[in-house]
Structure 1
Amino acid sequence: MIPEFIGRLPVLAPLDPLDESALIKILTEPKNALTRQYAKFFEMEGAEIEFAPSALSAIAHMAMARDTGARGLRSIVEQVMLDVLYELPELEHKGKFVVTEDVVKGLKPLFDQMPENTKMSA
């Protein structure tokens, strides 16, 4: 058959939802995985980042709870890392930062303190 014609046929295929281990593999294994992208960004800023296994698990659970699967992973990680992306270039003491489950859940900031020049006074 003609490929252009076949492309116009609507095809619906039910898929099984991804489990936690599959979502974690998506976060870590591909050449351009999200965790590797953030590691490269931190490296360019003179710092290191590590995602703890509990953090990866929490991100996967959030994606499953939202029923977004792999497509939702990027938005979840971006939400977690949003403040970090603004604060990192201004940090004086850059080192190794570990993203934990508490950081993913918003219970603890990745950076213990904001840089002095970005603190807001009351």
Structure 2
Amino acid sequence: PVMATLEELDEAALMLILTEPKHALVKQYARLFEMEGVQLEIRDDALREISRKAMERKTGARGLRTIMEQVLLDTMYDLPSMDHVSKVVIDASVINGENKPFLIYERIEKQAVAAD
């Protein structure tokens, strides 16, 4: 049998796992939102908070997906029925459950109808 000792990943390492690999979680979720025509912005404070929660739960990198899914699932489900949403912004307050994801709507130019 092979034995190896493992150390817990720190916050910086978890943030890199969220953003850097080719198939990083942030990139995967961004692509899912793109399929609905919506840009996903996950701010650095949100990434830190996701990493911190994974460390608190002692789930390491495996727990990152669960945390992100808990935060984004409802929005992903509701997006197809929402009109004119162009961007979804996630910050630390969303990760902590203090706010819902921030929805940015595209500006719809009203067309003036000529009454002539």
TM-score bracket relative to the smaller structure: 0.7 to 0.9
1:50 partner SS: strand
For 1:35-73, what per-residue CA distance to the aligned partner results, in whole angstroms no more than 9, with x for missing partners? 001111111101100110000000000000000111111
Which of the two has greater helix per residue? 1
The 5 A counterparts of 1:29-48 are: 29-48=20-39
Offset, 1:110: 0.8
Q: Within 5 Å, which residues of 2 pair with 1:7-22?
A: 10-22=1-13
Residue 53 of structure 1 pairs with residue 44 of structure 2 = yes
CA RMSD of aligned residues (A): 1.1
Equivalent in 90, 105, 109 of residue 100 of structure 2: 109
Give the equivalent residue in structure 2 for 1:87: 78
Percent identity reads 52
Aligned length, in residue pairs: 103
Q: Please state how far the C-alpha of 1:14 moved relative to its aligned partner.
A: 1.2
Greater strand content: 2
Give runs of ≥4 in structure 1 deviating > 3 Å. none
